[in-house]
Amino acid sequence: MPTNKVNIPNYRLLGKNYTTPDMVAKVTGKSKYAEDFRAEGMLFCKLLLSPLPHGRVKRIDASAALAMPGVKAILTADELPPPAPFITDDGVMIPADPRAERGLTNEPLYQGEPVLAVAAVDELTAAEAIEKIQIDWERLPFAVDPMVTLKPGGPNARTDGNVWVVPPPAPPKPGEKPAGPPLPQVQDFKWTDAEYAEFKQGKLPMSKPSMEWSYGDIEAGFKKADLVVDEAFVTPNTSHQCMETRTAMAYWQNGKVFVHCSTQSTAQTVPAIARWLSIDQTNVVVISEYTGGGFGSKVTSGISLTIPVLLSKKVNAPVMMRVSREEEHYIGRARPGFHGRMKAGFTKDGRLVALDMFVVTDGGPYGPQGDANSSGRIVSLCYTPENMRWRGVNVITNTPPRGAQSQPGGAQGVMIMEPVMNKAANKLGLDQVAIRRINAPAGKAGIGGAIKGKRDHVTSAFVQEALDKGAELFRWNERKSQVKKSGTKARGIGVAVSAYSAGSIGFDGLFVIKPDGKIYIQSGVGNLGTESMIDSHRVVAEVLGVPWEQCVVTWGNTAKHLPWTCPSGGSQTIHAMTRAAHATAMDAKQKLQEIAAMDLGGTPADYEVGGGRVFRKGGGAGLTFAQAAQRAIKLGGKYDGHEVPETVSRMTKASVTGLAGQGLLAAAKDKYKRDGITNSYVAGFAEVEVDLETGEYRIVDYVGVADVGTVIHPRAFGGQMFGRTSLGWGHALAQKWVYDQHYGAPLAKRFYNSKPPTILDVPVNNFKWAAVDIPDPETPVGARGIGEPPVGAGASAVLNALVDALGENIFRRAPVTLDIILTALETGKPGDDPLTAHI
């Protein structure tokens, strides 16, 4: 039960709990998610999924299906628009990628990939029609295990190779805009015989990489080291498994497509759909007021929504595509699993002086995932190795496409590095908290590799403070000396640190103060219920000095003139949108002051804003917001949006125009300076209890302390702390993919097989969170996001606690299920297969 209170001084609203405006609709069932919409004449579509892990369609015979009464149309990959180049708002050209995922395909790259869709009057008819379709297949080689495809002579998941390689970006030509990121290329990549021999010994070969970076002098670092730890670890592939699948419904009206979908970003889904369909983004309307979970898998919704969109165009009727839970397993994204190996050099006092990190990521068939690189960056930040080399191989497998999942790459990096920290502390006889404290980032700590000798740095880091606070709350020192074993149960404690990027910059804010005196705030952020979408706008009320009740937030429908905003993903919102909100509030303040000066004399600087009024400093004449709004309408121009600010992005400009004339319109882009990359940090402390006769264990206690700057909405924050930590626990406890390697087929498609944690699997009575409460110096209200770093901390603190309870020779991969523990206790050897994927 969180009894935690956050004390942010001097704020009227920030740091206080309140009820968000979406709650009543949610508790009464009136909130509408994508599948809750109906349209007259709506058809349903169903998907035909590939039975093969890799194959090519030779011939489709759908004649029997199309002859059925009630069947309206079939959509195949041939009817999808070809991949098209794309120009971003910043004018960067993203070239067309022929290898990119599309909604349907004639060369499925994983079992379950959608091949075609059938629209019919109802689902039953569509399903019967699918069963009547005959496809002739050409079978192609496949691999679902990255280790298998790396073996000499191993099969390749794509016909042209098995590893992604991203060429370095071309240097910008003088006088031209910088070129977009180069297209990833595919290579055929195999281990040498010697490396394969090492693999067969159960060791992950540190082969030649397909990407690498470094800083410092790693050789010199190892020379300095008193202890070298060489450890490998395997992390699971885990599906996002949002409660709401990526169901979508679409219809066309007057050349515009209306898409009801589930997305983390209403605003950013518009250009994504425009790009997938090769149409102008002004012809796309996205409606998504409530999103049933995303966790990174629905940043711009999913490309599968193009199926109902194109079918509805083809049959000229609304089409609903209900995505089933099994289909969601295929197209719903997942975190890539890692095979990682760390060679780490420590001095006697525990300082990490050299780190050689090597990872193999299982990236599925589409696009290189950023997880690999992120894992190295986060490890370089969390444990500040003096010298480091990071190398990775981004492997292509015939498994469902991956996507960012809360703390993408960071969680895996932490999970691979934490056992090394743990082992080093034990070997050196150091306290686990102490060794992390010694190596913790502080201030403008470095992150990532060096380019021309220079590394990036973060905005701020207060990890030592987080560790200290956590150790105190957890009573670490006290518990360290408790008895570990009692009868058939053993207890252990563990600590882990984690970090991740926690905020982007440069987005727009937009609101109108209307003649009713209320502030109508527009948001293009998806509503995932983390409430950052709403919470960030509390800054507007805070800056303008109005009660929150005077603010109305509009979201979820791009026909309602929304600004260009960040997605509710990557922990961006609370940072990016408090900045944008702040900038926009300042714009409103400026306009209010100007109007007041115009009407009441003096200069704008003579006026102050507060209490719903703009008034002369020190008291005296003023205008209410209602009056100022009416004046703004009269004044027109920039005051009511008839003059569009230059700085804001294309979408915001259109929205400003759409809202013009309704009141005092404030619109601004976040142009605040920021020195460094914004990251948040969590120190996690766990206690576990293991039943030595069954291998079962429970997390009996957990403390998480966050270094996130200013906490804006403590209750929502606490929910994120628990929720994201729990996602990490899931990775430690039971969540995974299982594949039959002979057929390349998934076996754990159902919840009862893939095992996301239930309420009885997590320490719902023994969880505490806290924040260090030091505002970030590089952002106006000092707030950073919290959605990512709890994951790695949650997973690794539990795994480290298991090591404390049972010793080091138990497991080499996560999740650690009871069979692994029991086998290890029984045989005295680690109870898991060291390297096979998806078991």
Partner 1 sequence: MEIIEFARSPWGQDVPIHISFTLIWVCGIAGLAFLIGHAIYVKFMAKPEEFEATLPEAAAKVPAKIARHSLASRLFHWIMAAAMFALLFTAFLPKVGFPFAWVTYHWIAGLVLTASILFHLIHANFFLDPWAIWPDKTDIEDAKRRLLRARGEAAPAPRKFAKYPLENKMYHCIIVLTGLSVTLTGFFMMFRVSTPFFTRNPYLFGDMTWGWMYVLHGLAGVGLIALIMAHVYFAIRPEKFAMTKSMVFGSIDREHFLEHHDPKRWVVTESSK
Partner 2 sequence: MAVIRDVMPAFELFQPATTDDALALLAKYGSDAWVLAGGLDSFDWLKDRIKRPKVVVDMSQASGLRGIKEMNGGLEIGAMTTLTEVVRHPLVKEHFSLLAEGAELAASPQIRNQGTIGGNVSQDTRCWYYRSGWKCYRAGGNICFADTPTAINREHAILDADRCVAVNPSDSAPALIALDAQMVIRGPGGERVVNAQDYFVGPDINIMRMTVLKPNELLTAIRIPGTWGGAKFYFEKIRDRQVWDFPLVNIAAAMKVSGGKIEQIRMAVNGVAARPLRLTAVESAVIGKPADAATGEMAGKIAIQGAVALRFNAYKIPLMRNLVKRAIGGVQEAAWKS
Partner 3 sequence: MADMKNPEETTKTLSRRDLIKGVIAAGAVSSAGYLFRSSGVRAAQTQSAAGSVERLVTLNINGQQRPVDVMKQETLAMTLRYKLGLTGTKLGCDRSECGACTVLIDDVPHYSCSVLTHSVRGKKVVSIEGLASADGKLHPVQQGVVDEQGFQCAFCMSGFIMSAVGFLKVNPKPTRTELAHGISGNLCRCQDYDKILTALLKGAENMRRA
Binding residues for partner 2, per CB under 8 A? 46-49, 51, 123-124, 126-128, 130-135, 324-327, 486-489, 689, 691, 693-696, 698, 733-734, 738-742, 745, 747-748, 751-753, 755, 757-761, 763-765, 817-820, 822-823, 825-826, 831, 838-839
736-775 mask for partner 3 (x: CB under 8 A)?
A: --------------xxx---xxxxx-x-xx-x--------
Other CB atoms within 10 Å distance of the CB of residue 487: 8
- Three-state SS at 428: helix
Our CB check for partner 3 shows the closer of 210 and 300 to be 300
Q: Name the minimum Å distance from CB 429 to partner 2.
A: 30
Give the length of the chain: 839
Residue 216 neighbours by CB under 8 Å, 6+ apart: 385, 386, 387, 388, 450
Residue 696 in the binding site for partner 3 (CB under 8 A): no
Tell me which residue of 113, 149, 163, 377 sits closest to 838, measured CA to CA.
Answer: 149
- Three-state SS at 699: strand
Write out the binding residues for partner 3, residues 231-290 only, by CB under 8 A: 240-244, 290
Between helix 266-277 and helix 306-315 the angle, nearest 10°, is 60
Tell me which residue of 447, 199, 436 sits closest to 339, measured CA to CA.
Answer: 199
Exactly one of 154, 364, 509, 529 binds partner 3 (CB under 8 A); which one? 529
- On the question of a cis peptide bond just before residue 318, with omega within 30 degrees of 0, the verdict is no
CA gap 474, 472 in Å, rounded = 5
Q: Name the minimum Å distance from CB 134 to partner 2.
A: 6
Residue 3 in the binding site for partner 3 (CB under 8 A): no
Return the one option of partner 3, partner 2, partner 1, none that residue 748 interacts with (CB less than 5 to 8 A, by type): partner 2
Q: Name the minimum Å distance from CB 189 to partner 2.
A: 23
Our CB check for partner 3 shows the closer of 121 and 279 to be 121
Which CA distances in Å does 209 have to 390, 398, 417, 471, 492?
A: 9, 21, 19, 39, 37
DSSP 415: H
Return the one option of partner 2, partner 1, partner 3, none that residue 593 interacts with (CB less than 5 to 8 A, by type): none
Other CB atoms within 10 Å distance of the CB of residue 637: 10
Return the one option of partner 2, partner 3, partner 1, none that residue 293 interacts with (CB less than 5 to 8 A, by type): partner 3
Can you read off the two tokens belonging to residue 84? Answer: 């098209």
Return the one option of partner 2, partner 1, partner 3, none that residue 150 interacts with (CB less than 5 to 8 A, by type): none
Our CB check for partner 1 shows the closer of 33 and 743 to be 743
Exactly one of 84, 94, 99, 123 binds partner 3 (CB under 8 A); which one? 123
Q: Which amino acid is at 696?
A: E
Our CB check for partner 2 shows the closer of 178 and 757 to be 757
Our CB check for partner 1 shows the closer of 127 and 559 to be 127
Q: Name the minimum Å distance from CB 795 to partner 3.
A: 13
Q: Name the minimum Å distance from CB 166 to partner 1.
A: 33
Is residue 470 within 8 A of residue 497, CB to CB? The reply is no
CA gap 387, 527 in Å, rounded = 42
DSSP 92: -
Burial 378-405 (b: 16+ CB within 10 A, else e): bbbbbbbbbbbbbbbbbbbbbbbbbbbb
Our CB check for partner 2 shows the closer of 6 and 307 to be 307
Residue 139 in the binding site for partner 1 (CB under 8 A): yes
Our CB check for partner 3 shows the closer of 124 and 170 to be 124
Quick one: which segment of 250-258, 263-271, 495-503, 741-749 binds partner 1 (CB under 8 A)? 741-749
Quick one: which segment of 583-591, 701-709, 737-745, 757-765 binds partner 1 (CB under 8 A)? 737-745
Rg (the chain; Cα; Å) = 27
Return the one option of partner 2, partner 3, partner 1, none that residue 52 interacts with (CB less than 5 to 8 A, by type): partner 1
Write out the binding residues for partner 3, residues 45-84 only, by CB under 8 A: 68-70
Residue 177 in the binding site for partner 1 (CB under 8 A): no
Exactly one of 89, 122, 675, 819 binds partner 3 (CB under 8 A); which one? 122
Is residue 404 within 8 A of residue 570, CB to CB? The reply is yes
Total residues binding partner 3 (CB under 8 A): 74
Exactly one of 59, 175, 742, 758 binds partner 1 (CB under 8 A); which one? 742
Tell me which residue of 470, 482, 434, 530 sits closest to 768, measured CA to CA.
Answer: 470
CA gap 170, 182 in Å, rounded = 8
Our CB check for partner 1 shows the closer of 50 and 268 to be 50
* Partner residues linked to 516 by β-bridges: none
Write out the binding residues for partner 1, residues 24-53 only, by CB under 8 A: 51-52
Torsion angles phi and psi, residue 706, rounded to 5: -110, 140
Would you give the distance in Å from CA 30 to the centre of its chain?
A: 27
Residue 148 in the binding site for partner 1 (CB under 8 A): no
Residue 243 neighbours by CB under 8 Å, 6+ apart: 292, 293
Handedness of CA 772, 775, 779, 783 (dihedral sign): positive
Q: % helix / strand / coil in the chain, to the nearest 5?
A: 30, 25, 45
Our CB check for partner 2 shows the closer of 92 and 751 to be 751
Residue 452 in the binding site for partner 1 (CB under 8 A): no
Residue 120 in the binding site for partner 3 (CB under 8 A): yes
CA gap 393, 391 in Å, rounded = 7
Our CB check for partner 1 shows the closer of 37 and 743 to be 743
Our CB check for partner 3 shows the closer of 295 and 615 to be 295
Quick one: which segment of 217-225, 291-299, 436-444, 460-468 binds partner 3 (CB under 8 A)? 291-299
Residue 548 in the binding site for partner 3 (CB under 8 A): no
Which CA distances in Å does 661 have to 399, 514, 595, 667?
A: 52, 9, 15, 14
Q: Name the minimum Å distance from CB 153 to partner 2.
A: 18
Return the one option of partner 2, partner 1, partner 3, none that residue 755 interacts with (CB less than 5 to 8 A, by type): partner 2
Return the one option of partner 1, partner 2, partner 3, none that residue 110 interacts with (CB less than 5 to 8 A, by type): none
Can you read off the two tokens belonging to residue 46? Answer: 């169903």
Exactly one of 166, 700, 745, 818 binds partner 1 (CB under 8 A); which one? 745
Quick one: which segment of 212-220, 266-274, 681-689, 736-744 binds partner 1 (CB under 8 A)? 736-744
Residue 719 in the binding site for partner 3 (CB under 8 A): yes
CA gap 682, 663 in Å, rounded = 43
Return the one option of partner 1, partner 2, partner 3, none that residue 722 interacts with (CB less than 5 to 8 A, by type): partner 3
Can you read off the two tokens belonging to residue 288? Answer: 């998504």
The secondary element (H helix, E strand) that includes residue 513 is strand 508-513
Exactly one of 18, 37, 137, 252 binds partner 1 (CB under 8 A); which one? 137
Return the one option of partner 2, partner 3, partner 1, none that residue 738 interacts with (CB less than 5 to 8 A, by type): partner 2
∠ at Cα 568 (245, 660), nearest 5°? 110
Residues interacting with partner 1, by CB under 8 A?
51-52, 137, 139, 740, 742-743, 745
